[in-house]
């Protein structure tokens, strides 16, 4: 791969804490290698800021290999930046060219309040899982793993839904800040497996109720969530959730 | 004085007998007992869930914004279990034996056997939780093979087994949160253990959102805080992975076992430049289907695909015909280093070897698929196309990841790989019950030293984390807590809490007031460089002595010239990092000391002074068949305690994979 160097301008959202109003600040960054990851580019800027006696940019990140779901930057109007099925940490600077201006914001959603700069509070997702995103089986209760065969197609579909990393890009991309792709992925993962069957109805109802309580909006049916999902979670999961929910609501009445 | 508390009796009966006679706590009393779990990876989340299910009052802590993000999530390849679903001769004994041998006879037999026994329960439990393991068309579970074994016993979920297992444990834990049995504290970092009358009774932690220090009481404290590979700066660990919790416990009296035992994983994406912040693993499972080679000619500048078959050196297949590309990690890593050092490396930096899938793409998968479809005499192109589809299903996400990072398509050109720090076998010393030598302080998962000896086999870390959390600690903790039912919760206004919190606050103030010139990151990088060059893949006495002096010097510089921006009473990631790097510096010194003391080669620890004529690691069982457990005695001062290892069943032999 040909490698090149570039100078860029970053427009970054700075916000001291949850109560601060916040605003954009511009930073020039020089000698950025096309082989760097996007976050390594931010590292370079932060080292400079610290040396200049300024406050570095706070951002969530951890594994830097696209699986922990921590990183969460809204880059030039798109969660996780321009690449398809990608996380911010896996975005590399060869996506940009010399002279580019890049705007970086936090996830924007009422249910994800900003803590500082680009860091937001996504604990609403944990609470949605607490509402029913599990199979109630205590440790030690299990039968032999091969006692219950699962059709490969269904197992594969459950796996595809379970690939969600809980980053929240779907919420950030949605103009209603809906969390339906996240919720539907979990409901689908568990509903597709025979083990998850006994709790199907209560799970769908309770998780959706919690989602509403957290202040996430309604689905727009525009598919923005699917388009930006780093793990390619399909919008058909939302259709499945709707079916699960309708059935459960019907029976519960 | 080091009592490992290994139960008497024959190896295969020890755990059974232990469980049959261990003290129990009745359900009413469990509700009165509080347990602190630090870390929510596989070990921590499974322990918190299992203890919550039993009725204990659990408080769980993690520094990430959600417990689901713990670094277990990044494990790719799989989890071992002695299910023998493949009918290929596997058994509990074989898993035990492979693990002890793979660990180069530096692990404790009784612990490893227990691990192999409960491995089968883990798979059952995970499937019941809805973990979507790979399946065959018949609906039953699929397996793949991993390095250091000759059976297929690895269960997997494409290239994201860790994510699926962790989500299972996380969901089980969140269920307990909903039921009120577990209280979860995210964005909290443990900064010290509180000791009352010689027992661990709580922790001091910092709320990473507002910077406040908090006191939390527990009848027992479980550290499930992972490994310390980030002491090398560059590793496959997450950016936040750190040794701080374990190190604080060490300074409060817990012995550190075999700190120099680090695993350098053979297949990682090579370093591209000075900006590099972390390294990315390419799962060992790829060695099932990828063949490792370098050009036969030195400094060959041709592109990989232009080098003809007869000019390629498949050095693992050449040196180790019995195991070939599936030799254990330590062996594969050293072999790669040997070729690169000798001038046969590839890529711009020459610090890389090829991992090539073309052969198996065509011959293994392509031909099988063509056979299934009834295509007679398929041409190479068809075979490649068919093979690609299978490889995509098995490893698609890994190939995508490789392409995102390097910009090269591994379906078309071989991957370039090089060894990188991946896992630490060393950790806090624990007895059979997973208790450190500090009463009431337990250590689970990668953070302890116990099961992998001097080298961990692939797909065994996930197994150990979940074994400790789901199936070991729920039994062994009762043996301690049964005697604690009369202990009332100690109010956090107790002098011990006050004093410990004050010490933590003082240290933070000291750090913030240095107001020097150099960034935390720059110190971390310098530490990493010393460790990688002198305590990395090959070590010798002179280098280690130099490293110790350099690290002591670095420590002085750190404490007089580090610059930490921002304030204390706010979110301040640089301050978090400074505390961690300060601990890594101290740990680095102990690792070098341990490596210097262990004048033998074993597993991942390669002392240049101790090798065979063919350059293989040479163990010294007469002098070093022990666990080195280090006691902290003050600055740069440790006392060595030895736990002699006895091998009654798996008799040590020179490890051979030839």
Indicate whether A129 and A243 sit together in one domain: yes
* pLDDT at res. B393: 83
Q: Look at residue B361 and tell me whether its pLDDT is greater than 90.
A: no
Q: With an 8 Å Cβ cutoff, is A95 touching chain B?
A: no
Token digits of residue A95 = 């996506």
* pLDDT at res. B246: 98
| Total structural domains within chain A | 2
Indicate whether A104 and A136 sit together in one domain: no
Over residues B140-145, the mean pLDDT reads 93
- Cβ–Cβ contacts within 10 Å for residue B363, how many? 12
* Distance (Å, whole) CA B262 – CA B254: 20
Q: What residues of B are in contact with residue A53 (Cβ under 8 Å)?
A: 565
Q: With an 8 Å Cβ cutoff, is A250 touching chain B?
A: no
Indicate whether A142 and A243 sit together in one domain: yes
Over residues A226-250, the mean pLDDT reads 96
**Per-residue pLDDT reduced to its tens digit, B187-196:** 999 999 999 9
Q: What residues of A are in contact with residue B171 (Cβ under 8 Å)?
A: 129, 133-135
Q: What residues of A are in contact with residue B283 (Cβ under 8 Å)?
A: none
User: What is the pLDDT confidence band of residue B606, given thresholds at 50, 70 and 90?
Assistant: very high
Supply the CATH number for residue A103's domain: 3.10.20.30
- Domains along the sequence of chain B with CATH: 11-261+425-484 (3.50.50.60), 265-421 (3.90.700.10), 497-619 (1.20.58.100)
Q: Which residue, A93, A115, A137, sits at the end of a domain?
A: A115
* pLDDT at res. B433: 98
Burial level of B139, CB count in 10 A (0-12/13-18/19+)?
middle
Bridge-partner residues for B424, per DSSP? B262
End-to-end Cα distance, chain B: 40
Looking at CA atoms only, how far is residue A102 from chain B in angstroms? Answer: 20
The secondary structure of B204-261, three-state, reads: EEEECCCCCEEEEECCEEEECCCCCHHHHCCCCCCCCCCCHHHHHHHHCCCCEECCCC
**Per-residue pLDDT reduced to its tens digit, B49-97:** 999 999 999 999 999 999 999 999 999 989 999 999 999 999 999 999 9
CB B438 within 8 A of CB B254: yes
Q: With an 8 Å Cβ cutoff, is B280 touching chain A?
A: yes
Indicate whether A101 and A36 sit together in one domain: yes
Q: With an 8 Å Cβ cutoff, is A98 touching chain B?
A: no
Looking at CA atoms only, how far is residue A253 from chain B in angstroms? Answer: 25
**Per-residue pLDDT reduced to its tens digit, A70-87:** 999 999 999 999 999 999
Mutate to test the interface with B, among A136, A145, A195 (most CBs of B within 10 A): A145
Chain A residue with minimal CA distance to B573?
A58
Question: Of B65, B133, B177, which is closest to A60 when you measure between CB atoms?
Answer: B65
Give the list of residues 6+ apart from residue A59 with CB closer than 8 angstroms, or none. A39, A42, A71, A72, A73, A117, A118, A119
Q: B68 vs A126: CB contact, 8 Å cut-off?
A: yes
Token digits of residue B138 = 């018949």
Indicate whether A101 and A132 sit together in one domain: no
* pLDDT at res. B513: 98
Q: A68 vs B177: CB contact, 8 Å cut-off?
A: no
Looking at CA atoms only, how far is residue A151 from chain B in angstroms? Answer: 5
Measured in degrees and rounded to the nearest 5, phi and psi for residue A236 equal -65, -20
User: What is the pLDDT confidence band of residue A253, given thresholds at 50, 70 and 90?
Assistant: low
Q: What angle do CA A120, A124, A129 make, to 5 degrees?
A: 135
User: What is the pLDDT confidence band of residue B179, given thresholds at 50, 70 and 90?
Assistant: very high
Instruction: State how far Cα B273 lies from the chain centre.
Output: 25
Token digits of residue A231 = 């793990």
Looking at CA atoms only, how far is residue A73 from chain B in angstroms? Answer: 15
Percentage of chain B exceeding pLDDT 70: 100
Question: Of A94, A141, A149, which is closest to B139 when you measure between CB atoms?
Answer: A149
Chains A & B: contacts with CB separation below 8 Å: 226
Instruction: State how far Cα B65 lies from the chain centre.
Output: 21
Question: Of A53, A163, A190, which is closest to B160 when you measure between CB atoms?
Answer: A163
Q: Which residue, A62, A90, A115, sits at the end of a domain?
A: A115
Give the list of residues 6+ apart from residue B635 with CB closer than 8 angstroms, or none. none
Over residues B430-434, the mean pLDDT reads 98
CB A150 within 8 A of CB A137: no
The secondary structure of B87-100, three-state, reads: CCCCCHHHHHHHHH
**Per-residue pLDDT reduced to its tens digit, A28-74:** 999 999 999 999 999 999 999 999 999 999 999 999 999 999 999 99
**Per-residue pLDDT reduced to its tens digit, B373-398:** 999 999 999 999 999 998 888 888 88
Indicate whether A165 and A57 sit together in one domain: no
- Alpha helix (H) residue ranges in A13-97: 38-51
Mutate to test the interface with A, among B121, B174, B282 (most CBs of A within 10 A): B174
CB B105 within 8 A of CB B453: yes
CB A230 within 8 A of CB A167: yes
Q: A152 vs B136: CB contact, 8 Å cut-off?
A: yes
Indicate whether A53 and A167 sit together in one domain: no
* Distance (Å, whole) CA B417 – CA B392: 19
* Distance (Å, whole) CA B313 – CA B330: 20
Chain B residue with minimal CA distance to A36?
B275
User: What is the pLDDT confidence band of residue B146, given thresholds at 50, 70 and 90?
Assistant: confident
Looking at CA atoms only, how far is residue B137 from chain A in angstroms? Answer: 5
Bridge-partner residues for B262, per DSSP? B424
Q: Which residue, A85, A115, A145, sits at the end of a domain?
A: A115
Q: Look at residue B442 and tell me whether its pLDDT is greater than 90.
A: yes
Indicate whether A134 and A223 sit together in one domain: yes
- Cβ–Cβ contacts within 10 Å for residue B611, how many? 15
User: What is the pLDDT confidence band of residue B614, given thresholds at 50, 70 and 90?
Assistant: confident
Token digits of residue B233 = 């700066």
Indicate whether A141 and A110 sit together in one domain: no
Over residues B268-290, the mean pLDDT reads 91
Q: What is the DSSP letter of B198?
A: T
Q: What residues of A are in contact with residue B135 (Cβ under 8 Å)?
A: 149-150, 152, 155-156
Residues 323-352 of B with CB under 8 A from A: none
The residue behind tokens 């065969």 is A149
Indicate whether A126 and A111 sit together in one domain: no
* pLDDT at res. B615: 85
Q: Look at residue B148 and tell me whether its pLDDT is greater than 80.
A: no
- Cβ–Cβ contacts within 10 Å for residue B129, how many? 26
Instruction: State how far Cα B141 lies from the chain centre.
Output: 25
Q: A92 vs B407: CB contact, 8 Å cut-off?
A: yes
**Per-residue pLDDT reduced to its tens digit, B288-316:** 889 999 999 999 999 999 999 999 999 99
Residues 154-213 of A with CB under 8 A from B: 155-156, 158-159, 162-163, 165-166, 189-190, 193, 195-196
Indicate whether A81 and A185 sit together in one domain: no
Question: Of A61, A115, A189, which is closest to B209 when you measure between CB atoms?
Answer: A115
Q: What residues of A are in contact with residue B275 (Cβ under 8 Å)?
A: 33, 35-36, 40, 43-44
Q: With an 8 Å Cβ cutoff, is B608 touching chain A?
A: no
Q: Look at residue B207 and tell me whether its pLDDT is greater than 90.
A: yes
Token digits of residue B125 = 């439990």
Q: A119 vs B64: CB contact, 8 Å cut-off?
A: no
Residues 118-147 of A with CB under 8 A from B: 119, 121-123, 125-126, 129-131, 133-146
Q: With an 8 Å Cβ cutoff, is B73 touching chain A?
A: yes
Supply the CATH number for residue A165's domain: 1.10.1060.10
**Per-residue pLDDT reduced to its tens digit, A101-134:** 999 999 999 999 999 999 999 999 999 999 999 9
Q: What residues of A are in contact with residue B565 (Cβ under 8 Å)?
A: 49-50, 53-56
* Distance (Å, whole) CA A21 – CA A177: 20
Q: A139 vs B474: CB contact, 8 Å cut-off?
A: yes
Q: B172 vs A134: CB contact, 8 Å cut-off?
A: yes
* pLDDT at res. B616: 87
Looking at CA atoms only, how far is residue A232 from chain B in angstroms? Answer: 11
The DSSP annotation for B350-375 comes to S--EEEE-HHHIIIIIIHHHHHHHT-
Mutate to test the interface with A, among B43, B62, B66, B581 (most CBs of A within 10 A): B66
Three-state DSSP class for residue B58: strand
* pLDDT at res. A1: 59
* Distance (Å, whole) CA B305 – CA B302: 8
Token digits of residue B419 = 């060894």
- Domain of residue A246: give its range: 122-252
Looking at CA atoms only, how far is residue B585 from chain A in angstroms? Answer: 20
Indicate whether A140 and A185 sit together in one domain: yes
């Amino acid at each position: 791969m040909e490698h090149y160097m570039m100078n860029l301008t970053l427009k970054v959202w700075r916000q001291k804490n949850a109560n601060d109003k916040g605003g954009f600040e511009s930073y020039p960054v020089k000698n950025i290698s096309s082989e760097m990851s996007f976050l390594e580019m931010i590292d370079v800027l932060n080292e400079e800021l610290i040396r200049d006696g300024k406050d570095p940019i706070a951002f969530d990140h951890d594994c830097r290999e696209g699986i922990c779901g921590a990183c969460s930057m809204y880059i030039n109007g798109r969660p996780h930046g321009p690449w398809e099925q990608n996380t911010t940490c896996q975005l590399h600077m060869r996506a940009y060219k010399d002279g580019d201006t890049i705007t970086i914001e936090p996830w924007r959603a009422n249910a994800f309040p900003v803590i500082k700069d680009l860091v937001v509070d996504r604990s609403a997702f944990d609470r949605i899982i607490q509402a029913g995103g599990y199979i109630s089986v205590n440790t030690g209760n299990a039968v032999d793993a091969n006692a219950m065969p699962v059709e490969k197609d269904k197992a594969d579909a459950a796996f595809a839904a379970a690939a969600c990393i809980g980053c929240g890009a779907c919420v950030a991309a949605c103009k209603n800040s809906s969390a339906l792709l996240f919720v539907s992925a979990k409901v689908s993962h568990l509903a597709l497996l025979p083990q998850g069957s006994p709790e199907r109805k209560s799970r769908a109802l309770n998780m959706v109720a919690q989602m509403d309580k957290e202040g996430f909006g309604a689905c727009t049916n525009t598919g923005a969530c699917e388009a930006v999902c780093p793990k390619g979670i399909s919008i058909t999961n939302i259709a499945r959730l709707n079916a699960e929910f309708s059935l459960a609501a019907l029976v519960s009445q | 004085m080091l009592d490992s508390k290994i139960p008497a009796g024959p190896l295969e009966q020890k755990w059974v007998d232990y469980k049959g006679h261990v003290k129990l706590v009745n359900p009413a009393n469990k509700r009165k007992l509080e347990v602190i779990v630090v870390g929510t990876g596989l070990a921590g989340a499974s322990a918190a869930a299992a203890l919550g299910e039993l009725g204990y009052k659990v408080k769980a802590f993690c520094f990430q914004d959600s417990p689901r993000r713990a670094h277990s999530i990044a494990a790719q390849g799989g989890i071992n279990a002695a299910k023998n679903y493949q009918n290929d001769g596997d058994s509990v004994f074989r898993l035990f034996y492979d693990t002890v041998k793979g660990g180069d006879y530096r692990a404790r037999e009784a612990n490893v056997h227990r691990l192999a026994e409960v491995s089968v329960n883990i798979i059952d439990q995970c499937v019941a939780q809805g973990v979507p393991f790979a399946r065959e068309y018949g609906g039953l579970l699929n397996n793949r093979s991993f390095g250091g074994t000759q059976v297929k016993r690895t269960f997997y979920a494409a290239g994201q087994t860790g994510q699926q297992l962790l989500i299972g444990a996380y969901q089980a834990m969140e269920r307990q949160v909903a039921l009120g049995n577990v209280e979860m504290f995210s964005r909290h970092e443990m900064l010290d253990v509180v000791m009352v009358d010689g027992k661990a009774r709580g922790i001091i932690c910092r709320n990473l959102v507002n910077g406040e220090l908090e006191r939390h009481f527990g009848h027992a404290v479980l550290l499930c805080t992972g490994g310390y590979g980030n002491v090398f700066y560059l590793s496959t660990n997450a950016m936040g992975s750190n040794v701080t919790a374990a190190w604080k416990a060490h300074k409060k009296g817990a012995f550190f076992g075999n700190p120099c035992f680090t695993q350098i994983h053979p297949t990682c994406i090579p370093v591209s430049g000075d900006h590099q912040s972390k390294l990315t693993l390419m799962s060992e499972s790829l060695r099932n289907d990828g063949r490792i080679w370098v050009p036969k000619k030195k400094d060959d500048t041709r592109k990989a695909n232009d080098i003809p078959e007869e000019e390629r050196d498949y050095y693992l297949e050449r040196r180790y015909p019995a195991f070939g590309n599936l030799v254990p990690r330590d062996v594969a890593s050293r072999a790669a280093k040997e070729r690169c050092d000798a001038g046969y490396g590839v890529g711009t930096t020459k610090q890389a070897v090829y991992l090539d899938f073309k052969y198996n793409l065509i011959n293994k998968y392509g031909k099988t698929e063509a056979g299934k479809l009834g295509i007679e005499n398929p041409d190479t192109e068809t075979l490649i196309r068919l093979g690609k589809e299978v490889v995509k299903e098995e490893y698609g996400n890994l190939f995508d990841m490789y392409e995102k990072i390097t910009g090269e398509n591994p379906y078309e050109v071989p991957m370039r790989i090089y060894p990188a720090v991946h896992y630490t076998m060393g950790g806090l010393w624990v007895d059979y019950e997973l208790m450190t030598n500090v009463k009431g302080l337990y250590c689970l998962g990668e953070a302890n030293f116990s099961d992998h000896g001097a080298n961990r086999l692939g797909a065994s870390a996930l197994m150990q984390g979940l074994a400790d959390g789901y199936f070991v600690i729920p039994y062994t903790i009762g043996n301690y807590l049964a005697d604690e039912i009369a202990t009332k919760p100690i109010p956090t206004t107790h002098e011990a809490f006050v004093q410990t919190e004050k010490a933590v606050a003082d240290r933070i103030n000291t750090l913030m007031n240095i107001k020097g010139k150099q960034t935390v990151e720059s110190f971390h990088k310098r530490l990493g460089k010393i460790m990688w060059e002198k305590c990395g893949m090959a070590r010798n006495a002179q280098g280690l002595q130099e490293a110790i002096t350099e690290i002591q010097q670095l420590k002085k510089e750190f404490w007089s010239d580090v610059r930490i921006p921002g304030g204390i009473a706010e979110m301040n990631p640089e301050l978090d990092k400074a505390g961690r790097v300060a601990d890594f510096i101290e740990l680095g010194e102990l690792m070098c000391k341990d490596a210097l003391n262990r004048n033998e080669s074993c597993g991942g620890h390669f002392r240049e002074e101790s090798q065979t004529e063919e350059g293989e690691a040479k163990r010294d069982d007469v002098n070093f068949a022990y666990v080195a457990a280090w006691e902290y005695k003050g600055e740069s001062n440790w006392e060595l305690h030895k736990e002699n290892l006895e091998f009654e069943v798996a008799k040590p032999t020179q490890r051979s994979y030839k």
